[in-house]
Amino acid sequence: MTSGRTGVVRITDVAALAGVSPGTASKALNDTGQLRPETRERVRRAAEQLGFTPDGRGRALSSGRSYTVGLITTDSSGRFSIPIMLGAEDALSAGEMALLLCDTRDDPVREQHYVRTLLARRVDGIIVTGRRTEPRAPIDVPIPVVYAFSASTDPADASILVDDQGGAASAVRHLLDTGRTAIAHVTGPERHRSAVERAVAAAETAGDAFRGPALYGEWSERWGRAAVDLLLRAHPDLDAVSCGSDQIARGVCERLRELGRRIPDDVAVTGYDNWDVMALACRPPLTTVDLELEELGRRAAGMLLDAVGGRPHRGTLEMPTRLVIRASTLPD
Amino acid sequence: MTSGRTGVVRITDVAALAGVSPGTASKALNDTGQLRPETRERVRRAAEQLGFTPDGRGRALSSGRSYTVGLITTDSSGRFSIPIMLGAEDALSAGEMALLLCDTRDDPVREQHYVRTLLARRVDGIIVTGRRTEPRAPIDVPIPVVYAFSASTDPADASILVDDQGGAASAVRHLLDTGRTAIAHVTGPERHRSAVERAVAAAETAGDAFRGPALYGEWSERWGRAAVDLLLRAHPDLDAVSCGSDQIARGVCERLRELGRRIPDDVAVTGYDNWDVMALACRPPLTTVDLELEELGRRAAGMLLDAVGGRPHRGTLEMPTRLVIRASTLPD
DNA sequence: GAAAATTAGGAATTCGTTTTCCGGCAGACC
DNA sequence: GGTCTGCCGGAAAACGAATTCCTAATTTTC
C-alpha cells in the first residue's frame, strides 16, 4: 500500500519475517530447491507484505542473467524501426525483461561502441534492426542475436523479415479480383531491394494484366505525381496502379484527381506500408499493405527469448503482411 | 585486437598483469584514491592490452549507481516522443549511461508496473515524456526525475517544455514582417493546451491584423481544408493563415490551391512542428516552427545527469523553437 | 529396530567491482 | 635520532541475490 518507505526491502528482510534463511527465501520466491509448500507460501506472503522486489543488480550478478536485452537500430528517423521497437519492448516486458536502446545513426563506429557497452552490461541478447531491408553484416558477439527487418548476411543467423513479395502480390491479386485488367507498378529506387522485390512480385502476379516496365524513382509523392503522366501516356487503358509506398500512392492519387480521373472508378490505386498519416489522409483513403511491424518486433523478441532460454532459432523467417482494403480500390 | 576471446577479462586479471591489487586497479581506472601517476598508467595500459571493460553488474552493485536511466513514454505512436528519446539517448550515451525504454501506452497500470521495475533495477533516474503538452501527475519515486515535453503538475519538479507561445508568435511575426495584414489562425481541439497556447500567442502577436476568432478543430488535413472555406467567407481580405500543425497547414494549402488562390502571393501559410513528411511534401513547402525535440531530449538528459550528480534542477524550463522559412510564405 | 533413502532448510560461497579502512614507508621537523 | 605528517597501495568488507554443498530430521526398507 504505502509507497516507498525509507529503507528498501531486501531478501534478508523477507527471510527474517518468514522465519527462514535468505537462501531459503530465494528458493521459495524462485520456485527452486526443495521446500515444503507451506514454507514457500509463508515466504511469498512475507514478500508481498513487505512489497519486496528483488534488486536487479544482485540478481544479475549471481544468476548470470541480466534480464536485459539490447536493441541496436541504425535508423534514427525511425519510420520502420519504431514499431518494431515497441513490439519488442511489449513482448519483453511481459517476460520481465527490459530493453536498452542504442541508436547507431548508421555509424559503424558508434555501432561498435554500443556492442561493447551492451556486452559490458552483460545483456542476455541483442536485437538488431535497421531502416532498409538490405541484408547487413552480422555483429560478432558471444550471445544470442536476432536480426529484425533487415537480415544478417550470414544465413545461419536468426533473421526475421517482412514478406515483401507476398505483400506486393496480395495487393495486385486484390486488384485482379476486383476486375482490373491493366495494372502498372510505381516504386522507389532500383537500388533498394524492397523496391525490386515488390516490383517483381507485382509483375509476376499481374501476368498479362501487367503494364510494364515497373517505374523506379524515389519514395516521394512528387515521384508518384510524375509517374502518373508517364503511365497515362504509355498505357491509355490503365485501370490500376500498384505503388511501392503510401507516399508514392498518395502522389499518384493527387495527380490522377488533378487530371479528372476518378478513383477508384477509372483507376484503382494501392499503397504499401499502411502509414496512417499517408494512407488515411489520401483522397480517397488508400488500400495498402500493412507490414505488421509491431508483430514482427514481438516475434523477434520471442525468438530472442527462446535463444536465451537455450532454444535458438536459425535461418530466416518471413512474416506475412496484411492487406488493408479502403476506398482507393473499392467504391463504397 | 582479437574480438571476444574465451574467458572475459576481469579486473583481477588487469590487476595481476599490472602487478597491483584489484582495489588499486579499480582506483587507477576510475581516477580515485591516491596513486602514483606511473602506477595509474601501468594499470591503464594493462587494461587496454587485455581489452578490459568493467562488468556493469558488479559495478552497479558496489557503486550504487547503475549507469542506467529509464525513459517512460505514454506515447506509443511516437510522433513527438521519438525525437526526444533519441536526443536523450544521444546525450546519455556520451556519458556512458544507457537508456531503458518503457512504453506505457497511456495505461496507468502499465506505468505503475514500469516504475516498479525501473526502481528494482536501481536506475539512476527517470525521464518522463508524453505525446501531449498537458501537465501530468508526477510519479512518486525517491530518485531524480525530469519531465520532458509534458510538465509535472507539481511546479517544484524539473520539467522541460517547448515554448509554444514563442513558437506561434515567431511564425506570426514572420508573417507581419513579410507584409501580411489579415492573419487567421487554424488549429486543433480547444481542449488541447498546445492548441490554445498557440492560438492565444498568434492572436496577441498579430494584433490588429488578426482575423479572429481562432478556429479550433482537429489535427487533420481534412479540417485544414474545411477551415479555408469558413475563413474565406468570413474574411475576404485574408492574406495569411497561421496553422497549429503542419497537417492542418497542408490541408489549408490544398484547399487554397483548389480554389485558385496562389501561395504565397495571395495567401501565405505557416505550419507548426516541422514534420518533414508534411512540411516538405506540401505544395509549396511549408514555412513552419521546428520544436527542436531532439535538443529538448538532450537537455532533459543533461538535466537528469546533473540531478544524478547532485545538482538538481527545479521548476519548468521552456526551450526556444526555431522558425524554418520555406516557400509557403516567401516567393522564391 | 537398524541401516538406507529421502526431504527440508541452513551455512557458506559466488558473482565482479567499489570503497573503506589501515599499515608501511619516505621525508620533514624538532 | 625519534616522532609527525603525507603519500601509496594492499586487505577486506561491502553490495544483494542465487546457488552449491551439507546436515539434520524424517521416512522407508529389510
CB contact under 8 A, A56 and B122: yes
For A68, the closest chain B residue by CA position comes to B100
CB contact under 8 A, B120 and A90: no
Q: Quick check: B112 contacting A, CB < 8 Å?
A: no
CB contact under 8 A, B281 and A55: no
Q: How far is CA B321 from CA A65, A178, B175, B280, B313, in A?
A: 44, 49, 16, 18, 21
> DSSP character for B285?
P
Mind listing the pLDDT tens digit for each residue in B102-155? 999 999 999 999 999 999 999 999 999 988 899 999 999 999 999 999 999 999
CB contact under 8 A, A89 and B103: yes
**Of all protein residues, which has its CA closest to the C1' atom of D16?**
A58
Q: Which residues of B97-120 are buried (b: 16+ CB within 10 A; e: fewer)?
A: bbbbbbbbeeeeebbeebbebbbb
Residue B115's Cα: distance from chain center in Å? 21
The dihedral built from the CA positions of residue A166, A168, A173 and A178, taken in this order, carries a sign that is positive
Mind listing the pLDDT tens digit for each residue in B41-68? 999 999 999 999 999 999 999 999 999 9
3-state secondary structure of B148: strand
- Tell me: pLDDT of A251 over 90: yes
**A33 and A90 Cβ atoms separated by less than 8 Å:** no
Residue numbers in A 3-62, CB below 7 Å of strand D: 8, 10-12, 22-23, 26-27, 29-30, 32-33, 52, 54-55, 57-59, 61-62
- Identify all chain A residues contacting B117, using CB atoms and an 8 Å cutoff: 53, 93, 96, 98
Q: Quick check: B233 contacting A, CB < 8 Å?
A: no
Alpha carbons A133 and B97: distance in angstroms, whole number: 30
The distance (Å) linking the CA of B26 with the C1' of D11 is: 14
Whether the bond into B312 is cis, omega within 30 of 0: no
**Residues with Cβ within 8 Å of residue B178, at least 6 apart in sequence:** B268, B329, B330
Mind listing the pLDDT tens digit for each residue in A45-60? 999 999 999 999 999 9
**A11 and A27 Cβ atoms separated by less than 8 Å:** no
Alpha carbons B240 and B263: distance in angstroms, whole number: 9
pLDDT recorded at residue B1: 33
The mean per-residue pLDDT over the stretch B73-94 comes to: 89
Q: Quick check: A101 contacting B, CB < 8 Å?
A: yes
Give strand D nucleotides closer than 7 A to any protein Cβ.
7-21
CB contact under 8 A, A140 and B4: yes
- Tell me: pLDDT of A3 over 50: no
Alpha carbons A250 and A270: distance in angstroms, whole number: 9
> Which pTM does this prediction carry?
0.93
Q: Which of residues 263-322 of A touch B (CB under 8 A)?
A: 277-278, 281
Q: Quick check: A100 contacting B, CB < 8 Å?
A: yes
The mean per-residue pLDDT over the stretch A250-276 comes to: 96
3-state secondary structure of B216: strand
CB contact under 8 A, B120 and A53: yes
Q: Quick check: B327 contacting A, CB < 8 Å?
A: no
Alpha carbons B105 and A83: distance in angstroms, whole number: 13
Mind listing the pLDDT tens digit for each residue in A190-219? 999 999 999 999 999 999 999 979 999 999
For B7, the closest chain A residue by CA position comes to A142
- Identify all chain B residues contacting A98, using CB atoms and an 8 Å cutoff: 100-102, 117, 121
- Tell me: pLDDT of A159 over 70: yes
The distance (Å) linking the CA of B55 with the C1' of C16 is: 7
Q: How sure is the predictor about B298, in pLDDT bands with cuts at 50, 70 and 90?
A: very high
pLDDT recorded at residue B5: 39
**B294 and B84 Cβ atoms separated by less than 8 Å:** yes
pLDDT recorded at residue B3: 31
The mean per-residue pLDDT over the stretch A321-332 comes to: 92
pLDDT recorded at residue A4: 35
Q: How sure is the predictor about A332, in pLDDT bands with cuts at 50, 70 and 90?
A: low
SS (H, E, C) chain A: CCCCCCCCCCHHHHHHHHCCCHHHHHHHHHCCCCCCHHHHHHHHHHHHHHCCCCCHHHHHHHHCCCCEEEEEECCCCCCCHHHHHHHHHHHHHHCCCEEEEEECCCCHHHHHHHHHHHHHCCCCEEEEECCCCCCECCCCCCCCEEEECCCECCCCCEEEEECHHHHHHHHHHHHHHCCCCCEEEEECCCCCHHHHHHHHHHHHHHHHHECCCCEECCCCHHHHHHHHHHHHHHCCCCCEEEECCHHHHHHHHHHHHHCCCCCCCCCEEECCECCHHHHCCCCCCCEEEECCHHHHHHHHHHHHHHHHCCCCCCCEEEECCEEECCCCCCCC
What percentage of chain B exceeds 90 in pLDDT? Answer: 91
What percentage of chain A exceeds 90 in pLDDT? Answer: 90
**B219 and B245 Cβ atoms separated by less than 8 Å:** yes
The mean per-residue pLDDT over the stretch A257-278 comes to: 96
CB contact under 8 A, A82 and B82: yes
Q: Which of residues 27-56 of A touch B (CB under 8 A)?
A: 53-56
Give one word for A74, left, alpha or beta, with left for phi > 0 and alpha for psi -120 to 50.
alpha
The mean per-residue pLDDT over the stretch A96-100 comes to: 95
> DSSP character for B152?
B
- Rounded to the nearest integer, the mean pLDDT of chain B is 94
For an interface test with B, the pick among A50, A101, A246 (most B C-beta atoms closer than 10 Å) comes out as: A101
pLDDT recorded at residue B332: 66
**B98 and A117 Cβ atoms separated by less than 8 Å:** yes
